[in-house]
Amino acid sequence: MTTLGVNIDHIANVRQARKTVEPDPVQFAFLAELGGADSITVHLREDRRHIQDRDVFLLKDTIKTQLNLEMAATDEMLGISKKLLPDYVTLVPEKREEVTTEGGLDVKKNEKNLKNFVKILKNSNIKVSAFIDPESNQINYSKEVGFDFIELHTGRYADLKGDAQYEELQKIIESTYLANDIGLVVNAGHGLNYQNVKKIASINNMNELNIGHSIVARALAVGLEKSVRQMKSLITSN
């Protein structure tokens, strides 16, 4: 059954708007777990615009599910992840000027560096995932580099409508099957919401969906426990 990873970066965004202590993403992770989150995802960015170092270490000590650390493949992040020992690391491309992660990782272009990076993380018993566009060569290179998981970028699917969205969905389905065939576990995420999630959740062997913005946005109206519960119920009612 497809599971739900809840990304709580946007809780930290509200805190950082005032650089104060509330709302605390660590406390909200507890509510996400009460609502049925199967894992908690945070992106520790180089510029620390939302999640801070203390958040990731407190989360590691306090959550009861699994911690998925999203990060760029830099020496600084490698050092932090070796100390933190999250359950998973998801490698993402990162640009200072972007509002959110824009495209997938170019695994092919960075094959040599990534191979070494992934090896070091795996030696620390951390499972490693690559956030990639749903393209066959990126999938094949992800296997080659040694990733355990891939996370398929659903941002384009979320932005498109009608026939174009249907075509993108087919690409995501074919990518999932290809990745499964070569032994990669497949997650997906970005831009998923209460309206568009079901088609992605119902793909065979879809392991986990990582969802942040839509869940936190709905939490403003109904509370985080409930917004997580509602998303989880959509994902698991296939």
CA distance 216 to 223: 8
H/E stretch holding 33 reads helix 25-34
Q: From 17-25, 57-65, 173-181, 207-215, give the range in contact with ligand PXP by CB under 6 A.
A: 207-215
**Is 10 among the residues known to form the active site?**
no
Residues 6 or more apart whose Cβ sits within 8 Å of residue 78: 117, 120, 121
Contact set for ligand PXP, span 13-52 (CB under 6 A): 43
Q: Does 9 bind ligand PXP (CB under 6 A)?
A: yes
Q: Using alpha carbons only, what angle is made at residue 22 by residues 18 and 26, rounded to the nearest 5 degrees?
A: 130
Which residue has tokens 């939490």? 219
**Is 97 among the residues known to form the active site?**
no
Q: Which residue in the set 212, 219, 225, 231 belongs to the binding site for ligand PXP (CB under 6 A)?
A: 212
Contact set for ligand PXP, span 106-165 (CB under 6 A): 131, 151
Nearer to ligand PXP by Cβ, of 63 and 129: the residue is 129
Are the beta carbons of 175 and 145 closer than 8 angstroms? no
Q: Which residue in the set 60, 213, 226, 229 belongs to the binding site for ligand PXP (CB under 6 A)?
A: 213
CA distance 70 to 213: 15
Q: Does 218 bind ligand PXP (CB under 6 A)?
A: no
**Is 43 among the residues known to form the active site?**
yes
Chain residues that interact with ligand PXP, rule: CB under 6 A: 7, 9, 43, 70, 90, 92, 100-101, 131, 151, 189-192, 210-214
